[in-house]
Amino acid sequence: MKRLILTLMTVSLLFVYTDGFAAGSGFDYWIKALSNKLRNLSSESADNNRTSVVGVKGAKDSESEELYWKDSPQSQSEEVEALEKAVAAASEGKSELAIKELEAFLEKYPDSALASDAEQGLRLLKDKESGG
């Protein structure tokens, strides 16, 4: 009896999990998730005016080493704005415009941290347009 109950619980959890996964992998989910991500990035770039100075105890002072900046806030905000335009077009049902915006984004920012999101959106939009 315990084995039957355990099996039924496992099967029911499997159905719940797969339904949640399917709902989380579609076009609407992409728009919501990316909109939230871009909103967070926009607020972070507004906070990027802070400056920090760090020293390491015992480290030698070396003037020959150059500083390395991972990404400038200006370029990140340009990327976010470009992707926001594409997401806005997609959410308004303007799929052709959104596809063009995403393709332009990928052409201009191929190494962006947001490129995978743009590629996923492009794939989903093209599938949606082809009736898939």
Please give the model's pTM, rounded to 2 decimal places: 0.59
- Determine the Cα–Cα distance for residues 109 and 96; give it in Å rounded to an integer: 20
- When the pLDDT of each residue in the chain is averaged and rounded to a whole number, the result is 74
- For residue 107, the enclosing domain spans 26-42+73-129
- Residues 42-84 have pLDDT tens digits of 766 555 555 555 656 665 665 555 555 555 455 678 889 999 9
Confidence (pLDDT) at 132: 63
Q: Is residue 62 part of a domain?
A: no
CA 66, distance to chain mean position in Å, is 31
Q: Is residue 9 part of a domain?
A: no
- Residues 7-29 have pLDDT tens digits of 655 655 454 444 444 445 588 88
49 phi and psi, to 5 degrees?
-85, 0
Q: Is residue 108 part of a domain?
A: yes
